[in-house]
Amino acid sequence: MPPVVFIMLDGVRPDTLTTADCPTLNSIIKRGASTMQARSVMPSITLPCHTSIFHSVPPTRHGITSNTFIPMARPLPGLVEVAHAAEKRVAFFYNWEQLRDLARPGNIHYSYFRDSSYNLDGDDETVSEATRFIQREQPDFAFIYVGTVDTTGHKYGWMSDPYLKQLEHVDSLLGGFFDVLPADYTAIVHSDHGGHDRNHGTDSVEDMTIPWMAIGPNIKKGYTIRSQISLLDTAPTIAKLLDLQPHREWEGRAVDEIFV
C-alpha cells in the first residue's frame, strides 16, 4: 500500500490558518480534504492527546491525564504496534521526549529525537532530518512532531504576534518538506489541541477545536469533511491507508468520506 506521513502541529488552532500567512497549510486545504471543526480529548494536554491519537481510545480508557508518563491503565496495542506486526517500517521524528512512550520498545524502525521544542528554530532540524530520511529510505509510516508553536503559545499567548510568526515559520519548513515528498505519500496533518491566553487543557472551544487535513493520491481534492472527527479517528484512518486491520479495542473510526 502507498506510504503515509502523519504531521502533528502541536497547539495549532484552526483560526490561525486564516490569521497567519500559511500558504503551505492552506494549499493542503485546497488540494485535499479537511475540517476546521475536529475535536480534541479531555484533558486537552499533549501527552494524553497523543496517547489517544496513537491508541484510538480516550484518556478515560488509557488513564494518562497529564504530561507525566505513567503506564496505561489498561494497555492495548497502538498504531505503531499494529503497523510493526504487519512488517511496516515506522519512523519517528520529534523534539519533545515524552513522545518516546507512544510505542513499546522494539516496534520503530528509525527514531530521531533532539530536545529542541523550546527553541524558536527547534523544528528546523526535525523537519530537515525527516525530509532527508523519507527521501532516502521511504518508510511505510512516518510520524513528524512539530512542537515549537505550542511552546511559543505558552510563552507569549495563543494568537499573539510571536505565536502567529512561529506558525508562519513552521509553514515555511513544511513547504520545503512537501516540495520534495515522494508523490506516492499520503499526508495526514492536524493538531492535538488549541489554546487560549498562555495555556490549554480545558473543555473550552479554543482548546478543544483543531484543524484536521489529509492530502494524497487517493484523497478527495478541495473537500470539506462533513462528519465530526476526533483524535480517536486518526489511527483507524492511517491503518486503512496502510491496509492494516484496526485493533478490536480501538474506539475511533476511519474517516471514509475523504477517500476518492
**What is residue 1's predicted lDDT score, i.e. its pLDDT?**
80
What pLDDT band is residue 15 in, cutting at 50, 70 and 90? very high
Report, as an integer, the average pLDDT of 39-65. Answer: 98
**What is residue 203's predicted lDDT score, i.e. its pLDDT?**
97
Residue 210's CATH number? 3.40.720.10
Domain count, the chain: 1
**What is residue 152's predicted lDDT score, i.e. its pLDDT?**
98
**What is residue 160's predicted lDDT score, i.e. its pLDDT?**
98
**What is residue 91's predicted lDDT score, i.e. its pLDDT?**
98
Can you state the angle between helices 23-31 and 161-180, rounded to 10 degrees? 60
Residue 183 structural domain: 4-258
**What is residue 86's predicted lDDT score, i.e. its pLDDT?**
97
% residues pLDDT > 90 (the chain): 99
Q: What type of residue sits at position 50?
A: H
SS (HEC) of the chain: CCCEEEEEECCCCCCHHHHCCCHHHHHHHHHCEEEEEEECCCCCCHHHHHHHHHHCCCHHHHCCCCCCCCCCCCCCCCHHHHHHHCCCCEEEEECCHHHHHHCCCCCCCEEEECCCCCCCCHHHHHHHHHHHHHHHHCCCEEEEEECHHHHHHHHHCCCCHHHHHHHHHHHHHHHHHHHHCCCCCEEEEECCCCCECCECCCCCHHHHEEEEEEECCCECCCEECCCCCEHHHHHHHHHHHCCCCCCCCCCCCCCHHHEC
Q: Is the pLDDT of residue 230 over 90?
A: yes
- Rounded distance between C-alpha atoms, residue 140 and residue 96, angstroms: 23
Average pLDDT, the chain: 97
pTM (two decimals): 0.98
What pLDDT band is residue 260 in, cutting at 50, 70 and 90? very high
At 176-218, the pLDDT tens digits run 999 999 999 999 999 999 999 999 999 999 999 999 999 999 9
At 101-137, the pLDDT tens digits run 999 999 999 999 999 999 999 999 999 999 999 999 9
What pLDDT band is residue 150 in, cutting at 50, 70 and 90? very high
What pLDDT band is residue 45 in, cutting at 50, 70 and 90? very high
**What is residue 191's predicted lDDT score, i.e. its pLDDT?**
98
What pLDDT band is residue 41 in, cutting at 50, 70 and 90? very high
